[in-house]
Chains A and B, each alone.
Chain A
């Protein structure tokens, strides 16, 4: 019985480890789970937080001004325009010898309007919904980089298409967004109690592209 429990525990831990590795890989490309690729449109020298080395990150952190109470925020990048690739919505193969009809319908939007990434001790708290502490940080950052209209509509997107024999059809999403990033510190009586980095991606629009590929 103990052996079975041990085996289960090992499988469980291995599963956790594997999940962690996979999720960190997906996020490590851009630092945002939503985006596979982010390219700066007019500022080729600009960098994402994940692409900065420790000395560059420390430089940003040093620029955060000291204050007596509350959040202090420094913006290294403010609303730089970027192009993103958000991934593939669907990919459907036809391995038969006949053309097949394919109907696609979704009522949810494919990407969130705003994606953000907070590091430091706050990152743990920001992984779900914004709690009260990160909400106050969000307000501080927003007052620096600008507020966004957060009205998001649920829209139906449906279409049907034919997939010829031995072909695969995929729908991918790209788009334009603005990116802002920087560092933050939280002070109480002039003592820094919390510090870290933040990066916001505000989506401007989404482009959809349909691709057909041969199946070999």
Chain B
């Protein structure tokens, strides 16, 4: 009997506290694991969105580590805003659709699922607008807010003139400060009329054409990675943004390959560019659009990873 009492006391004194401590530790571990599961990770890749002013629809891809992500359901969203981080201008935009695509990417051994957000910018009568460092802010009915860097939005006018034809278009991409930089554009132009090209403007405020360094190249079969100063036959300064332009004549039927060196306000990697060519035919002025063209694609990816911990149970 005394042994039984001893065992009972021992059980109460030793085993119960031990079980209690183990339970508390287990609870902490399990709750930590569950909380870790609650973290949401998102990936966006900032790119250039070129939107003609008559069609302001754009698709933004967001990658989430969750399938059927609550935060990427239309029903959970109150409104969307795009904000220019440079000057704090912002615009409320229309969410047309969110589609969970059957595409994944792997980052840090985690699987991320692609969601395509179809958006519409409710802006009208704009000839040119550039939204630098665009942030997409998503406001939720739960009063949470999430922000994603999506890149640059450029809205441009589609001019109808078509007097100039392009028979060859290519980029010269040099490696500067470990970045692939589009340093020049090679373009072969011809026309059925005699044309004076008065200016060529870049559809990006951060970039100009170094007008006084434009060169006619006889053999257009150069490598895209060739050093631009070799092609120009002289020094090239990537941060030279002088935009003086010496008009040049394109005779009727004449076909020439021009190398247009590009100057940057800061060294950035821009893969897509469009141009506006201002020209005159028999003293009448016209502007022709060269549609934004993907000159190259770098596999040194620059992307943003966001970690988000929800403040509610999902």
Contacts and interface: CB of A to CB of B under 8 A. Distances in A.
B295 A208 contact: yes
B297 A155 contact: yes
A83 B223 CA distance: 9
Given A109-B297, A205-B180, A205-B296, A151 B170 contact: no
Q: Which of A99, A152, A203 has the most CB of B within 10 A?
A: A152
B287 interface: no
B297 A211 contact: no
A150 B298 CA distance: 13
B66 interface: no
Contact of A151 (B224, B294, B298, B303): B303
B59 A154 contact: no
A212 B166 contact: yes
A59 interface: no
B103 A159 contact: no
Nearest to A162: B162
Interface string B272-314: 0000000000000000000111111111110100000000000
B13 interface: no
Question: Chain A interface mostly helix, strand, loop or mixed?
Answer: strand
A209 B224 contact: yes
B294 A157 contact: yes
A208 B291 contact: no
B16 interface: no
Contacts of B296: 175, 205-208
Contacts, number: 86
Contacts of A113: 299
A209 B168 contact: yes
B299 A209 contact: no
Contact of B294 (A159, A203, A212): A159
Contact of A164 (B165, B170, B188, B299): B165
A83 B162 contact: no
A210 B166 contact: yes
B215 interface: no
A45 interface: no
Contact of B303 (A153, A160, A161, A162): A153
B157 to A, nearest CB: 15
Contact of B59 (A151, A152, A156, A174): A156
Interface in A150-183: 150-157, 159-162, 164, 174-176
Given A155-B47, A164-B165, A207 B303 contact: no
B195 to A, nearest CB: 15
A54 interface: no
Given A151-B106, A204-B299, A161 B291 contact: yes
Contacts of B61: 153-154
Nearest to A103: B291
B167 interface: yes
Given A149-B301, A154-B61, A212-B166, A207 B171 contact: yes
A204 B191 CA distance: 37
B168 A206 contact: no
A156 B45 CA distance: 12
Contacts of A205: 173, 180, 296-300
Given A154-B61, A164-B165, A203 B299 contact: yes
Interface in A101-159: 109, 113, 149-157, 159
Contacts of A156: 59
Interface in B117-176: 162, 165-171, 173
Nearest to B167: A212
A153 B294 contact: no
B292 to A, nearest CB: 6
Contact of B162 (A99, A176, A204): A99
Contact of A152 (B105, B162, B170): B105
Contacts of A99: 162
Contacts of B101: 154
Given A109-B297, A205-B299, A211 B292 contact: no
A211 B221 CA distance: 11
Contacts of A157: 294
28 contacts: A83-B223, A83-B225, A99-B162, A109-B297, A151-B106, A153-B61, A154-B103, A154-B114, A159-B292, A159-B294, A164-B165, A174-B224, A175-B224, A205-B173, A205-B180, A205-B298, A207-B173, A207-B225, A208-B295, A209-B168, A209-B224, A210-B169, A210-B170, A211-B168, A212-B165, A212-B167, A212-B168, A212-B188
